[in-house]
Amino acid sequence: MTILVTGCAGFIGSNFVHTWLASSKEMVVNLDKLTYAGNLANLDDLKDDKRHVFVHGDIGNRDLVAELLTQYQPRAVLNFAAESHVDRSIHGPGEFIQTNVLGTFNLLESVRAYWTKLPESNRDVNQQSFRFLHVSTDEVYGTLSATDAPFKETNPYEPNSPYSASKAASDHLVRAWHHTYGLPVLTTNCSNNYGPYHFPEKLIPLVILNALAGKPLPIYGDGQQVRDWLYVEDHCRAIARVLEAGKVGECYNIGGWNEKANLDVVHTLCAILDELQPRADGRAYAEQITYVKDRPGHDRRYAMDASKMEQELGWRPRETFDTGIRKTVQWYLANQSWVEGVTSGAYRQWLDKHYGA
Ligand code: NAD
Ligand code: TYD
């Protein structure tokens, strides 16, 4: 048996491949365009593992995707591929529309053509039959006030950034392909992830690496924006569980029950670094905190009500924020060569040499 995964040279996808192969013999075909966020070093330890096949390409390339579907006959397609960073979407929304909206549309059409030709036994909605699982975000629901209840699957979509609007559009396409064509889809909406292989444009890895490099730790606005943090392996286990037992056509909210204000997250990181790798001058990393101009349209608070995942699928996160964040700092301290490759841009040179990317 085989699954086709997209975007799995990125942060969550690469963690998913590791988590998946740790407990399954099933082959994983990994289609990734290797944008700036795609890094094959995230999958270095799988170089000689025949269960993982890497294919360089775009989810929007229908010929290529059709070829892969015919060749590998996957029992499921999991779509992680996306442009994922809000700040980049503000500076240049075009790529977000291209990949997240048009790319998902093209992928859905390629998958629909494949699914339509599957034998009848593979096309009904029993647990063994084909699935298309779409990985999405809590940001599609918009923003919460301090007193609002966390987002449920029934909340209306109210995206505020070009990123979240493009993800919301892709979720709507996935929903429509189920209702109109019967494609057996599952959608997961998850809160902010953190953990190994996180690209250092996002808050947590950025703060760890800037702190160690003696650079400022930028806090947007007043730093009181709240995110619901989930350790990435818990997200990966949730996705595997939805694939295994989720009800076709349904959406599942995934979150950590871990709401934290940004400033508290940064202070926690500084305190762990003070303990594990103290500054040479003996001063506190928190002295590097710098308040900067706020992000335009900055959502104030996200929080997920993940009780459907718990009640219907028996999933709960294993890591608390305290255990997960410590593991994450330890991972960055222990993986200097990965960090160097990313910060020096050496991983891009490797790509240029191999793919002319
Ligand atoms: P990422 O930016 O780290 O990785 C994205 C990957 O997709 C990269 O490897 C990139 O090369 C690839 N890619 C981009 N465009 C492509 C295309 N057109 N064709 C093929 N591959 C392409 O993102 P991530 O943080 O790992 O997020 C993965 C998914 O999870 C995204 O769909 C994102 O919206 C969603 N998500 C992320 C978070 C989070 O906190 N990071 C939370 C909830 C949901
Ligand atoms: P980010 O990691 O970009 O995730 P998202 O915008 O998808 O939630 O940012 C997390 C929070 O941290 C968000 O409220 C913006 C804030 N932030 C900063 O304050 N400083 C930074 O340098 C970055 C990258 C983010």
Digitized pLDDT (tens) for each residue of the chain, 357 residues in all: 999 999 999 999 999 999 999 999 999 999 999 999 999 999 999 999 999 999 999 999 999 999 999 999 999 999 999 999 999 999 999 999 999 999 999 999 999 999 999 987 777 666 669 999 999 999 999 999 999 999 999 999 999 999 999 999 999 999 999 999 999 999 999 999 999 999 999 999 999 999 999 999 999 999 999 999 999 999 999 999 999 999 999 999 999 999 999 999 999 999 999 999 999 999 999 999 999 999 999 999 999 999 999 999 999 999 999 999 999 999 999 999 999 999 998 777 766 665 554
Beta bridge partners of 163: none
Report which ligand 2 atom has the smallest distance to the Cα of 87: 3
Distance (angstroms) between ligand 2 centre and the Cα of 298 equals 9
For the chain, the structural domain boundaries read 2-194+231-255+303-318
Distance (angstroms) between ligand 1 centre and the Cα of 7 equals 6
Q: What CATH class does 2-194+231-255+303-318 carry?
A: alpha beta
Q: Which helix (H) or strand (E) holds 108?
A: helix 104-116
Nearest to 31 by CA among 220, 139, 62, 153: 62
Residues with CB under 6 A from ligand 1: 6-7, 9-13, 31-35, 37-38, 58-60, 80-82, 84, 99, 103, 135-137, 167, 190, 192-193, 199
d(CA 133, CA 184): 9
Prediction pTM value? 0.97
Distance (angstroms) between ligand 1 centre and the Cα of 307 equals 25
Q: Which residues of 56-79 are buried (b: 16+ CB within 10 A; e: fewer)?
A: bbbbbbeebbeebbeebebbbbbb
Report which ligand 2 atom has the smallest distance to the Cα of 204: 2
Phi and psi (nearest 5°) for 320? Answer: -85, 170
Cα 310 → chain centroid: 20
